[in-house]
Amino acid sequence: MAYPFRHEKETRILSEYFGDPEARTLDGWKKRGGYQALRKAIEMGRDAVIEEVKASGLRGRGGAGFPTGVKWSFMPKEKTGPSYLLVNSDESEPGAFKDRELIRWTPHQLIEGALIGAYAIQADHVYIYVRGEFFEPAQVVARAIEEAYQNGLAGKNILGTGIDIDVTLHLGAGAYICGEETALMNSLEGRRGQPRVKPPFPAVSGAFGRPTTINNVETLCAVPHIINKGAAWYRGFGTEKSPGTKLFNVSGHVVRRGNYEFPLGFPMHELLYDVCGGIRDGRKLKAVIPGGSSVPILAAEECDINLDYESVIAAGSMLGTASVIVMDDRTCMVKQVRRMVEFYAHESCGQCTPCREGTAWVAKIMRRIEAGLGTEADLEKLVDLSTNMTGTTICVLSDSCAAPVMSSLKKFKDDYLGHIHHGACPVAAAAVA
């Protein structure tokens, strides 16, 4: 089975075995060099592993880009009871589908990375929290965990070293917010999936009130490679501040959508027009959301940038999960944003008032504008509400709802004005003409 599409410019490290069913099995994975890094890591010792990961400059791939080694070093050195490593595989960001492919094709890559991480931070238990809708990937992971247990790679006395690390698969129940780390912990504990107030931070009091580290799937998948080949090798990819490779999951109006692995700092233009084969049907690019639906939208003219954390921030957006959503010139931004806002209104956990009420209100206003019943005063109102929804809540869901509203109002105001003044979608009208 060949993976849908591969491009010769890719640097495939994490995604090398995508589409290769044999790599899913323990034997197949071992044949491909699997679990050597785990053995090596335990020989190196905990501190050396953390130092190596720190030196590699690996940054969290879940969206925030926080240095992984530094996060690990927050865990208490003195062990006073159970502590946990959580694997965040609740990939629910609209536009993101990289973790799904990683756990689907290379579950042992994840388990190995998680075991190394758990060893480094002295966690006794790894919980792999998989989004509830990922039914097939969850089955793959479950099988891999079983194999790991049967072969002494997980559970008691792993690799005969006397170290005990349990691995448990946990399925979510269908809430976007459970991808937020503290909401994930609540969900794991059987509570309502609502983000917790920080402090206390997870490294102090996380899952079950114990020290906890939570990492994204892609982050942990990179760890075995760093241990095997060294931090210097990893730093050979990407930029100074954003080292390593990253999966770019491209969706929307390009010819070849899919997952592509490149060193960070890869030019967006090259990604869209070369790797992905350009905008489909020969249309013009209108906008790109570079990091999943929660980040500000970039207009076509802002898209000549390199895809690393710093460059995207400099362009006014965020790299996030590198889930690139491409929109061509037939896209109505009002409809797009309305759709996204409805998503956030539906997924708001309902704890904080600005988010609970704000997301739903913005959705109602967006629906009204889209239906041609809006006024220019509504646009001011949207800016005002978005401001009130930014930075005023426990987590950033309401900020994420406000971001596309704010950025689209700034960059695509004509779409809004068309709906307001002509009572119909200007883009649709143009497409017919």
Residues that bind another protein (CB under 8 A): 175, 177, 192, 197, 345-354, 356-361, 364-365, 368, 381, 384-385, 387-388, 391-394
Beta carbon of residue 412, minimum distance to another protein (angstroms, whole number):
23
Beta carbon of residue 195, minimum distance to another protein (angstroms, whole number):
10
Give the residue with the Cβ less far from another protein, 175 or 254: 175
d(CA 37, CA 279): 41
Give the residue with the Cβ less far from another protein, 137 or 179: 179
Give the residue with the Cβ less far from another protein, 157 or 388: 388
Beta carbon of residue 177, minimum distance to another protein (angstroms, whole number):
8
Give the residue with the Cβ less far from another protein, 213 or 359: 359
Strand partners, 238: 243
Determine contact, residues 393/354, Cβ cutoff 8 Å.
yes
Beta carbon of residue 220, minimum distance to another protein (angstroms, whole number):
29
Give the residue with the Cβ less far from another protein, 111 or 183: 183
Beta carbon of residue 189, minimum distance to another protein (angstroms, whole number):
14
Residue 294's CB is within 10 A of a number of other CB atoms, namely 25
Give the residue with the Cβ less far from another protein, 23 or 362: 362
Beta carbon of residue 393, minimum distance to another protein (angstroms, whole number):
6
Beta carbon of residue 78, minimum distance to another protein (angstroms, whole number):
23
Give the residue with the Cβ less far from another protein, 245 or 386: 386
Q: How buried is residue 77: exposed, middle or buried, by Cβ count under 10 Å (0-12/13-18/19+)?
A: exposed
Give the residue with the Cβ less far from another protein, 300 or 383: 383
Beta carbon of residue 20, minimum distance to another protein (angstroms, whole number):
40
Task: For residue 167, give the nearest of 157, 158, 177, 154 by alpha carbon.
Answer: 154
d(CA 204, CA 16): 36
